[in-house]
């Protein structure tokens, strides 16, 4: 499968670092919150989730992934 974008749910301060690291090699999209993340995931997305965000919403993410 070929990914079309990196869909990220990260802290605001991590966005800059991701942009610099990816350096326009991938399309980046950022979710505002868990609900936004869940609703906007597409089949060909490469998902990036900050460990901080997972720790906050672990139960929600775990249920969603099941």
What is the tens place of the pLDDT at every residue in 6-50?
999 999 999 999 999 998 888 999 999 888 998 999 999 999 988
> Which pLDDT does position 1 carry in this prediction?
64
40 phi and psi angles, rounded to 5 deg = -100, 0
Where do the domains of the chain lie?
A: 5-65
Q: Choose between 56 and 16: higher pLDDT.
A: 16
> Which pLDDT does position 34 carry in this prediction?
86
Could you say which DSSP state residue 47 is in?
A: E
Tokens 């990196």, residue?
6
8 beta partners: 30, 48
51 phi and psi angles, rounded to 5 deg = -60, -35
> Could you give the CA distance from residue 17 to residue 60 in angstroms, rounded to a whole number?
26
């Amino acid at each position: 499968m070929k990914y079309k974008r990196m869909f990220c749910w990260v802290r605001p301060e991590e966005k800059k670092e991701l942009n610099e690291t990816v350096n326009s090699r991938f399309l980046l999209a950022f979710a505002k919150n868990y609900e936004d993340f869940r609703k906007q995931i597409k089949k060909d997305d490469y998902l990036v989730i900050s460990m901080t965000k997972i720790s906050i919403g672990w139960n929600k993410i775990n249920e969603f992934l099941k």
